[in-house]
Amino acid sequence: MIQRLRGAVLAHALGDALGAPFEFVTIDRYSQLAKLPWIDSLTNFKGSIGPHAIWKSPAPHGTGTDDTRYSWNFIDLACSIKRPPSAKDLAERLLCCWEHPKRIFPQYPDLTRQQFSIWEGVSHGFLGKMSPSFPGIAPTILASRSIGLNYPTIAGMLVLPFMGFFYPGNPEEAYVRAYETAFFDIGYAREATALLSAAQSLAVIGCEPDFVIEEILNLDPLSLGGSFGKPYVIASLPDFLLDAKSLTGVDLAKYLSKRLSHYNVFDPFRAIVIALLVSRVHSDDPWLALQVAVNQWDLGQNGSPSRFADVDCYASITGSLLGAFCGSGSLPIQQVEEVLKSNRQVYNIDIEITVKRFIDLILQVSSD
């Protein structure tokens, strides 16, 4: 289990770094090429910094975005309280990041505050407090407003990236705890976060992807009937699995881009379909699997690619499951080393130490 836990955290960071320079990059940049580019290597970043993007420009290849920063934050929170975070724990931590950014990333206080500002209103509301950013709005209203987008997003899978590993072999418990902790998710996003957690709980004990998918398709421990589960996963995912059965690599990437193009780039269904299908097809080749997850395009009105989608997020979410299937020994050594070096250099995040802290905590919690 140790190598699977390590693989999940490292593959998450690797996927984020692979997609980071290409997130929402438009097709115009590649107008001189005879065909669409295929991202298959870590790339230096020379672009605009932003609260949810890379925080330094230029930045060395292997540098992550908010996905990596959120994953570090999750593990740091869990290790500080020595247990899986509750919704209250998470809300308080997200507010702490916003109120005291120098405690989190001291070299980037302004960008830290901006990144975590999207959580300020909903976290205050969940905790029953008034928000300084939304004066006069009752906490009960703020608590229902998600992170400001007010439609289902992948937010839960980003701030709770490894929740399922606290419950190895117990997908029902992993589902329930993730669902309860994702207080900010709305609609079927909350169930998506829970399903990813359930899948992780099985992958980390060595279950095969086909078995995991079958199990989570039949999972509904809260008897919700599933606004996510029924019309999306249970009704739609089997068709995706059947249609993509013989597809690999570039063909699989093209299929996913086309079939998922009518979903918003932040839609949790889009992210979890990519994670499950890619893990199912390429668990024996995680580097290729992450490439498939990254090479996802938004399509324009004419059906042609217009820009890369939220590709760093798709690949990091995929990595958090894929790495548990394949273990750290299957990941490309050179690329992993570059990711470790760059995130240490840019953010002062030591992913190796973070991984060790997380594994120690999981083993301790599992033995209690």
Report strand pairing: 297-299 vs 305-308: antiparallel
DSSP state, residue 167: S
Q: What are phi and psi of 261, to 5 degrees?
A: -65, -25
Residue with more model confidence, 70 or 151:
70
Q: What is the CATH number of the domain that holds 242?
A: 1.10.4080.10
Give the mean pLDDT of 233-251: 81
Q: Is residue 203 part of a domain?
A: yes
pLDDT at 52: 95
Q: Is residue 256 part of a domain?
A: yes
Instruction: Give tens-digit pLDDT for 260-277.
Output: 988 889 999 899 999 999
Query: 219: pLDDT confidence band, cut at 50, 70 and 90?
Result: confident
CB 126 within 8 A of CB 86: no
pLDDT at 31: 58
DSSP state, residue 163: G
Distance between CA atoms of residues 269 and 320, nearest Å: 16
Residue 10's Cβ-count burial label (10 Å; 0-12, 13-18, 19+) is buried
Give the mean pLDDT of 216-222: 86
From residue 19, alpha-carbon distances to 13, 129, 319 in Å are: 10, 37, 12
How many domains are there within the chain? Answer: 1
- Closest of 73, 46, 76, 52 to residue 64, by C-alpha: 52
Domain span holding position 45: 2-62+149-348
Q: Which residues contact 72 (CB under 8 A, 6 or more apart)?
A: 347, 349, 351, 354
Distance between CA atoms of residues 43 and 59, nearest Å: 9
Q: Is residue 288 part of a domain?
A: yes
- The whole-model pTM stands at 0.95
Q: What is the largest CA-CA distance in the chain?
A: 59
CB 190 within 8 A of CB 302: no
From residue 62, alpha-carbon distances to 6, 28, 204, 336 in Å are: 18, 24, 25, 8
Give the mean pLDDT of 159-166: 98
Lowest mean pLDDT among 131-135, 221-225, 287-291: 221-225
Instruction: Give tens-digit pLDDT for 37-60.
Output: 899 999 999 989 999 999 999 999
Query: 132: pLDDT confidence band, cut at 50, 70 and 90?
Result: very high
CB 110 within 8 A of CB 101: yes
DSSP state, residue 298: E
pLDDT at 224: 74
Q: Is residue 270 part of a domain?
A: yes
CB 35 within 8 A of CB 15: no
**Ordered DSSP codes for 170-220:** -HHHHHHHHHHH-TT--TTHHHHHHHHHHHHHHHTTT--HHHHHHHHHT--
Residue with more model confidence, 24 or 101:
101
Q: Is residue 75 part of a domain?
A: no
Q: What is the CA radius of gyration of the chain?
A: 19
For residue 287, give both structure tokens.
């580097």
- Three-class SS state of 296: coil
pLDDT at 32: 58
Give the mean pLDDT of 9-27: 94
Distance between CA atoms of residues 224 and 220, nearest Å: 7
Please, what is the average pLDDT of the chain?
92
Q: Is residue 232 part of a domain?
A: yes
pLDDT at 230: 55
Q: Is residue 333 part of a domain?
A: yes
pLDDT at 145: 78
Q: Is residue 286 part of a domain?
A: yes
Q: How many CB atoms lie within 10 A of CB 35?
A: 6
pLDDT of 79 > 90? The answer is yes
| Percentage with pLDDT > 90 across the chain | 75
pLDDT of 235 > 90? The answer is no
Distance between CA atoms of residues 163 and 75, nearest Å: 10
DSSP state, residue 22: G
- Closest of 84, 64, 26 to residue 309, by C-alpha: 26
**Ordered DSSP codes for 209-268:** HHHHHHHHHT--TT----TTIIIIIIHHHHHHHHHTTT--HHHHHHHHHHHTTTS-TT-H
